[in-house]
Amino acid sequence: MSIGIGNRGNVQGLTTHKLGCIRGERAVFAGLDLALNPGRAMLLSGPNGSGKSSLLRVLAGLLPAAGGRVDWEGTDVTEDRDGHRARVAYIGHADPLKPSLTAAENLAFWAKLYGFDPDIEPALFQFAIEPLADVPVRYLSAGQRRRVTLARLALGQNSQAGPTLWLLDEPATGLDPGAVSMLANTILAHLSNEGVAIISTHGGRLDALLNDHADRFDMHEFAA
């Protein structure tokens, strides 16, 4: 049935072909081709409104693509939406935490819902939030909330068959240098495990820490 890409079995990681996105009747980007091999990260850069967040949401399957396709290991991800959802870990701008629940309760809920290892202690330690485990999230600072959100990545990492495709939308916002290092170490461990990560950034410490393992991608070239 399928023609064109040939040798499908050998295609690895994530590729996009002529990907486009339209938001509110305005084309955000068009004709976007990118390829990312397992074990590599991609740092998305570009000015505000250049479509970094939209691209991450399209790759996660949260937004429909307006033309083009996203392939994982050579197969269109829309052919197996459930399979694609299972391989995605998405961190957006907002912290999906409930203020009245404690940090541990918030994390435990996501772990159980996603079928991850219910033992959340290692994830708490990984982002140094174990002293805050029993504090309701409403009393946490913005940076502490961000750490709790990011600890979700560690939950998947510590589980069997956790997500392989990490889509992180400015994950280091509000983090202190120590926490950025914890995040970078988490991402590097993921990459060394043949994982893939796409991270939108505006430069800074995280960029520098990931530099040796990351390709760079400027959204500016694909502005529609």
Partner 1 sequence: MIGLCLLIRRDLRLAFRGGTDAMMGVIFFVLAAILFPFGVGPDAAILPRIGGGIIWVVALLAALLSLERMFAGDHEDGSLDLLYLSPVSLGQLALAKAIAHWLTSGVLLLIASPVLALLYNLPSSAFLPLVATMALGTPTLSLVGAIGAALTLGARRGGVLLALLLLPLYIPVLIFDAGAIDGAIAGRDITPQLMILGGFLLAALALAPWATAAALRQAIE
Residues that bind partner 1 (CB under 8 A): 60-64, 82, 85-86, 88, 90, 92-98, 100-101, 105, 109-110, 112-115
Q: How far is CA 220 from CA 19, 120, 143, 149, 174, in A?
A: 14, 39, 29, 29, 25
Tokens of 84: 């694609």
What are the angstrom distances between the C-alpha of 172 and each of 146, 168, 179? 8, 9, 8
Distance in angstroms (rounded) separating the CA atoms of residues 158 and 163: 10
Q: Which residues 6+ apart lie within 8 Å of 36 measured at CB?
A: 13, 14, 15, 42, 196, 198, 215
Q: Of the two residues 114 and 174, which places its CB atom closer to partner 1 in the complex?
A: 114
CA distance 65 to 151: 29
Supply the minimum distance, in Å, between the C-beta of residue 85 and partner 1: 5
Contact status, residue 134 vs residue 165, Cβ threshold 8 Å: no
Q: At its nearest, how many Å lie between partner 1 and the CB of residue 152? A: 8
- For residue 113, count CB atoms less than 10 angstroms from its CB and return exposed for 0-12, middle for 13-18, buried for 19 or more: exposed
Taking the least distance from each CB to partner 1, the nearer of 170 and 207 is 170
* Residue among 169 and 207 whose Cβ is closer to partner 1: 169
Q: How far apart are CB 67 and partner 1 at their closest, in Å?
A: 16
The SS3 call for residue 181 is helix
Q: How far is the CB of 51 from partner 1 (least distance, A)?
A: 15
- Closer to partner 1 by CB, 67 or 181: give it: 67
As measured in angstroms, the least distance from the Cβ of 102 to partner 1 is: 10
